[in-house]
Amino acid sequence: MSTLKTDTTGAEHHEAVDVHRVPTGDEKYATGKVIEVQAASVALAAALAAQKPKLFSKNMLKLYFIMSVGYLISTMNGFDGSLMGSLNAMTPYQKTFHLDGAGSSTGVIFIIYNLGQIAAFPFCGVLADGYGRRVCIFVGCFIVLVGTAIQASANGRGQFIGGRFILGLGASLASAAGPAYTVELAHPAYRGTMAGMYNNFWWVGNILAGWTTYGCQKNLTTSWAWRIPTIVQAGLPSIVMVLILFFPESPRWLIAHDRREEALAIFTKYHGEGDEHSPVVQLQYHEIIEQMSLTRNENPWWDYRELVNTRAARYRLYMVIGMSFFGQWSGNNVVSYFMPEMIKNAGITSTNKQLLINAINPIFSMMGAVYGATLLDKLGRRVMMLAGLGMGLVAYILLTAFTAASESHASLSYGVIVSIFIFGVVFAWGFTPLQTLYAVECLENRTRAKGSGLNFLFLNVAMVVNTYGISVGIAKIGWKLYLVYIVWIVVELVIIYFFFVETAGKTLEEMHDIFNAANPRKESTKKTKVEIDETGRVVNIDG
């Protein structure tokens, strides 16, 4: 179903394929109906027109279940973010480890989790590329259970820190393979929503931790007030570990390891409704094989040069690094880890009130994130990022103003709470679904596991710097720290507008032509008008 065109060099290449949306309802597929799609997306538009996906078929429902278990991997980091912020406000926790809630000692305990994630980086490629996405996820979840046991049984700061290091190492291994697994299994017509939901489950972990710690703080006065939430942290990784090996492997990984029949069977079942000759199945299958034959490189797992050895590879890497830092340095880390301290700075000193607000906030944020994920294919990745950060900037300005004013007018402290909630919702709406999705979309099939590992390396470097800096900054200068984030968000908006590519409306393989263009950002935002008849045949291309 690919449309072959000849470029200025005389070489033949596949006209790219995918749709921003598939016509529905009274649009049907009348002959000559004009469908506007992203440039380089004609063949997939035709394939989807010829065989419209069935959202609630038996095989699609099975795919949703597989994807939803994959989403649970994302809960690990969300749980830890809320858990440590809440434990940090608990008197039994502070007594056990002789802490006061802020300062460098608190910062070290927080960031040791991220140091464990950084330490996992060398092992991500060998497990995810060498043994498969599922094995990497299984091993990561098992290590998380070990780390949880060490952390929950700690009576001294050393053991607690050691447990958090191991916990972070396991979470990083699972998280390096999790996004790749979900995006490579997602149906191409709904990749934005299906794969974008992965990072939204960060909030599920955040919510679970928030309410567990709130209940324990309210009803317990012994060390079990912090031990029980720590034990609960192992619950969802246990489910993933038990189920993941019963699920299909990534078809793209299978093709890369010369197991084409297995890959075709998976595409046939979950993307073609059992029809091996489905246009969508055949298009993806042959595109992957074609790309593998053109770009195959037998680099060993420890050789990361293929991530930087061409101009296109470096541009892809810039996108990965950008999302790693922007996803942590946009002010969201302050809210997730230090919300009780932020609320305390605003004049609300009750620990129960602090933890209650900390437990309620992620519910609203998750609602925003889920809604945002449903819009990714319609609005595009760039629009979502720019709109989410733009609204987040306004919320941060309000947060700064209300916090400063509440020092002399206590009644304005609730304006701080409102600003925090607004920021959480709009940032989650525009950015949360993309924090892992965008990076894996920008990476090639053969570098996706290594690149995902590198993504989490940079992400955790950003978090280490950020988290430790926030801990010290809040203790030293309080709300004035927010001014730094206001300036940085403006910088992020400028960089995204001028350099970030649009990945919506294209298959993963079609990003190859985008990144090889002279101006990838400009090439990615071109539009083409395509006329497709009721059989899925392209009758006219304009653009």
Assess whether pLDDT exceeds 60 at residue 441: yes
pLDDT of residue 510: 84
Cα separation, 217 vs 225, whole angstroms: 6
pLDDT of residue 457: 85
pLDDT of residue 25: 36
Q: Which of 190-194, 349-353, 431-435 has the lowest mean pLDDT?
A: 349-353
Q: Which of 58-62, 302-306, 423-427, 491-495 has the lowest mean pLDDT?
A: 302-306
Assess whether pLDDT exceeds 70 at residue 501: yes
Assess whether pLDDT exceeds 60 at residue 395: yes
Assess whether pLDDT exceeds 60 at residue 303: yes
Over residues 286-295, the mean pLDDT reads: 83
Maximum separation of any 2 CA atoms in the chain, in Å:
75
Buried b (16+ CB within 10 A) or exposed e, 439-466: bbbbbbbbbbbbbbbbbbbbbbbbbbeb
Q: What pLDDT band is residue 529 in, cutting at 50, 70 and 90? A: low
Assess whether pLDDT exceeds 90 at residue 170: yes
Q: Domains in the chain and their CATH numbers?
A: 47-247 (1.20.1250.20), 309-520 (1.20.1250.20)
**Which string of DSSP letters, residue by residue, matches 273-311?**
TT-TT-HHHHHHHHHHHHHHHHH-----TT--GGGTSSH
pTM of the model: 0.79
pLDDT of residue 465: 79
pLDDT, tens digit (0-9, with 9 covering 90-100), for 78-110: 898 788 878 887 889 888 888 775 556 677 888
pLDDT of residue 15: 40
Cα separation, 14 vs 510, whole angstroms: 9
| Rama region for 13: left / alpha / beta (φ>0; ψ in -120 to 50; rest) | beta
Cα separation, 248 vs 256, whole angstroms: 15
pLDDT of residue 232: 95
Assess whether pLDDT exceeds 70 at residue 379: yes
> Which strand ranges, in their side-by-side order, compose the sheet holding 527-532?
33-38, 527-532, 538-542
Over residues 296-312, the mean pLDDT reads: 76
Q: Which of 46-55, 343-352, 420-429 has the lowest mean pLDDT?
A: 343-352
Query: Which is nearest to 74 in space by CA: 173, 211, 203, 243?
Result: 203
Over residues 251-279, the mean pLDDT reads: 93
pLDDT of residue 527: 72
Q: What pLDDT band is residue 10 in, cutting at 50, 70 and 90? A: very low
Assess whether pLDDT exceeds 60 at residue 40: no
Over residues 228-240, the mean pLDDT reads: 95
Assess whether pLDDT exceeds 80 at residue 213: yes
pLDDT of residue 319: 95
Q: Which of 154-163, 196-205, 457-466 has the lowest mean pLDDT?
A: 457-466
Q: What pLDDT band is residue 63 in, cutting at 50, 70 and 90? A: very high
